[in-house]
Amino acid sequence: MQQKQYNTIVVGVAFSPNIQANVFEALRMSEIFNASLVMVHVGEKTSEKEAALTKIIASFESTPPDFRVFLRSGNPVEVLLNACASEHADLLILGAVKREGLLKYYLGSVARKITRNAPCDVLLLIKPSVNRVACASGVVNGLAHPKTEEAIDRAFYVLSSLGAQKLTIVEEIPEDSVAIKVDDDRSLRKSTIAKERIKLRENSRVQLLLNDIPEKIKETLEVIVQPIFGRRGYSIGHYARVSRADLLVMNAPSKLTLWDRLFPHDLEYILSDLPTDVLIVR
């Protein structure tokens, strides 16, 4: 399979207290992936803003790579989505909002809309940092889903580029795939055996996917496979949090309807309560 490369990265920039950290993270990404960077700010084009941005970029630790700055007014969602399309972006970087006073991060409504409709991969950063913080481990979903192969592929690419050491592939298995209801010791024994069987099957499915990853990339990472019986989309987020992962890689869901937003599932659990930095693969 042809390894996908990030050639163009778009980042949304807002003049918030976090601006320096956000810009630095974006510059770092473009450096790491050797990609050109497009900074998009939605708002009126003023000379002060341009000056401020140039000043921040100038203070970056190394010479900034190839980059451009767009200042445009309009609907933020449309502006950013159009920028992604017109620049043929491969990756869009957005910052998350920290709920005041709490240790929780969530995505604002604008960022959510963009995430749902972006034509490219989206990276959501919860803790952008001015100084570089190394990325040590990642978690990727291993669902039985046509897009999973691509997600795993991308996780290897991004994590090995970031210099991570560990990748955990989490297979979320819906609880109702085990038909046996646990009532007493006997049914518990049966359901435990059934679960072991499903785990073996899922593990071999993931192993097949792993066979397609080039050896050179696989060597750099320690790969762990972890089956979890639980709610899809929810369990992996909780797992990423518990395992202190630095990056969570997820498939974008095939299609979102109003129903999905009312009754959150898959991605929506994670968007409403970001456990860590999240990369959504499209």
Partner 1 sequence: MYKRSVFSGLRSNVFAGFVVSLIAMPLALGLAIASGFPPIAGIIASVVGGVVVAILGGSHVTITGPGNGLVVVLLGAVTVLGEGDMQAGYLYALAAVILSGVLLLLFGFLRFGSLSDFFPATAIQGMLSAIGITILLKQLYVMFGDLETKGAALDLFLGLPSLITSLFTEGTTGQWYAAGIGIVSLLIMVFYSKIRNRFFHLVPAPMWVVLLALGFDAYFSFIGGGNPINKALLISLPENLLAGVPTPNFSKWNQPAFWGVVVSITLISSIESLLSIKAVDKLDPQKRRSNTNKDMKALGLATIVSGFLGGMNVVTVIARSSVNVNNQANNRSANFFHAAFLFIMVLVFQDQLRRIPLTSLAAILVYTGYKLAAPAIFVRMYQIGKEQLLVFLTTLISTLLTDLITGILIGLFATFIVHVLLNKAFWLFSRNLLKPNVLMYKENETQNYYVGIIHFCTFLNFYKLKSKLDKIPQNERAVVDFSLCSFVDHTVQESLQNYEELFDRKGGALEIIGLDIHETDSSHPFAVRTLRPLKKLRVFGGGRTKRQLHLEALAHEKGWVYKEAAAAQKRMLRDHPVYQTTSVEQVYNLIEGPNKRLSLFDINYSEGAFIAKENVQTTLLRVQLDRQIPVFSFDRELLLEKLSHLAGIHDIDFPNYPEFSRDFYVQGDNPQRIRAFFDAEMASFFSAYGFYHIMSNGRELIVRQFLRPATPAEAAAMIEFGLALKEKIDG
Applying CB under 8 A, the residues found at the interface with partner 1 are: 101-102, 181-185, 187-189, 191-192, 224-231, 234-235, 238-239, 241-242, 264, 269, 273
User: Smallest distance from the beta carbon of 174 to partner 1, in angstroms?
Assistant: 12
Its sign, for the CA torsion 109, 275, 239, 3, is positive
Query: Cβ of 231: how many Cβ atoms within 10 Å?
Result: 16
Return phi, psi of residue 91, to 5°: -145, 135
User: Smallest distance from the beta carbon of 100 to partner 1, in angstroms?
Assistant: 11
d(CA 22, CA 95): 7
Nearer of residues 64 and 230 to partner 1, judged by Cβ: 230
Nearer of residues 157 and 269 to partner 1, judged by Cβ: 269
Continuous segment of H or E residues that includes residue 84 = helix 76-86
Nearer of residues 156 and 239 to partner 1, judged by Cβ: 239
Nearer of residues 6 and 234 to partner 1, judged by Cβ: 234
Which residues on adjacent β-strands are paired with residue 169?
A: 140, 225
Tokens of 260: 């999905």
User: Smallest distance from the beta carbon of 106 to partner 1, in angstroms?
Assistant: 11
Residue found by looking up tokens 């190839």 in the block:
66
User: Smallest distance from the beta carbon of 49 to partner 1, in angstroms?
Assistant: 35
User: Smallest distance from the beta carbon of 185 to partner 1, in angstroms?
Assistant: 5
Using DSSP's 3-state secondary structure scheme, residue 127 falls into coil
Nearer of residues 17 and 101 to partner 1, judged by Cβ: 101
